[in-house]
Amino acid sequence: MLATLEVAVHSLAICEVAAGDELALVGMNRPLVHYVLRGSGLLRLDNNGEVKFEQHSFIILPAQRNHRIAAPGPRGHVVEGMDRSVAMVDHMLRIGSDENGLPDVITTCGTIQATYGGSIGMFDALDRPIAVRLEKTDPLRNVFEAMLGELASPRLGTRALTEALLKQCLILLIRKIAPDPIEARWLFGMVDLRLARAVLAMLENPAQNFTLDGLAKSAGMSRSSFASNFVTAFGTTPIDLLKKIRLRHASCLLESTELPIGVIAKSIGYESRTYFSRAFRHEFGIDPRSFRMRARSPGVPDPKVV
């Protein structure tokens, strides 16, 4: 599962909250992650729920979920985060409740986009916050502690470093939750975990000659029930999803290897290079050879734009 996971972090920011204050943040179009670098307190949700946090807590919120970061102390005031945003170097934002005071709580946050094979959204079914805490023995804790100084005076490269660490934390969270069948339901962006077996089979061996009957059997469902539930969960048919997984895998091979295009086509289940090229162009708007050239020459314009 993790071998097919692709993660990107966007809209990176540093949130600082003074004692007693609550920093109000608007929900984003993608799930949001907070890593607590300093302090403890409550993350209050717009539906009156709340999550306790402390230093080294890692919290993921569903998309479109307004929330407030509350620092302990004498009751202060609620501050709208967007009114206290300051642009920093390296395309980052600093959002603080008190422009002059020393913050009691500091988090680094960003929106996350995580997919399996570039096709299935990990967080599509996430409907509540998920929170874990890095253990004392985890080496990432020391790295994040060192980042406090880095974030106090951001430089070029600070964003890339922070994004990489948030991605590693996400992997740790998945490892912690995946063994629990109840908690793990959202990992596949679905409600019916029987579908997960079929999806995993396609992700782990995209070149296999899958059939609808075979996939339904792996899920322990009838053909008609499997097909209907699959479309409901993913908005596409099993075979169309398989095609997307194969072509996404091919795009990665084109970018990262020197393998001939015909070999890549066969490695993902296409016997005909011509048919593969046609399917690839339909998916990406460009033929495989031009895709490889563009990926290795950033200055080459996108044919779809020219």
What is the model's pLDDT at position 1?
53
Chain center to CA of 225: 30
pLDDT in tens, 59-91: 999 989 999 999 998 877 899 988 888 887 767
* Residues found in the chain: 306
**pTM, entire model:** 0.65
pLDDT along the chain (306 residues), means of 10: 68 90 91 92 89 92 93 86 81 79 88 74 79 81 72 77 76 68 57 77 88 94 94 85 90 89 94 94 94 74 42
Longest Cα–Cα distance in the chain: 70
Q: What is the 3-state secondary structure (H, E, C) of the chain?
A: CHHHEEEEEEEEEEEEECCCCEEEECCCCCCEEEEEEECCEEEEECCCCEEEECCCEEEEECCCCCEEEECCCCCCCEEEHHHHEEEEHHHEEEEECCCCCCCCEEEEEEEEEEEECCCEECCCCCCCCEEEECCCCCHHHHHHHHHHHHHHCCCCCHHHHHHHHHHHHHHHHHHHHCCCCCHHHHHHCCCCCHHHHHHHHHHHCCCCCCCHHHHHHHHCCCHHHHHHHHHHHHCCCHHHHHHHHHHHHHHHHHHHCCCCHHHHHHHCCCCCHHHHHHHHHHHHCCCHHHHHHHHHCCCCCCCCCC
Q: At what angle do helices 288-296 and 238-256 cross, to 10 degrees?
A: 50
> 192-296 has which CATH code?
1.10.10.60
Q: How far apart are CA 82 and CA 301, in angstroms?
A: 36
Architecture of domain 2-187: Sandwich (2.60)
- Region(s) of the chain under CATH 1.10.10.60: 192-296
- Region(s) of the chain under CATH 2.60.120.10: 2-187
Which residue type sits at 237? T
What is the model's pLDDT at position 252?
84
Q: How far apart are CA 246 and CA 253, in angstroms?
A: 11
φ, ψ (nearest 5 deg) of residue 253: -65, -35
Q: Yes or no: say if 253 and 210 are a contact pair by the CB < 8 Å rule.
A: no
Tokens coding 36: 């607590």
Q: How far apart are CA 206 and CA 201, in angstroms?
A: 8
Query: Which CB contacts under 8 angstroms, 24+ apart, belong to 100-103?
Result: 101/18, 101/19, 102/18, 103/16, 103/17, 103/18, 103/38, 103/39, 103/71
pLDDT in tens, 133-174: 888 887 777 777 777 677 767 778 887 887 777 777 777 777
Q: How far apart are CA 134 and CA 54, in angstroms?
A: 10
Owner of token pair 């002059």: 100
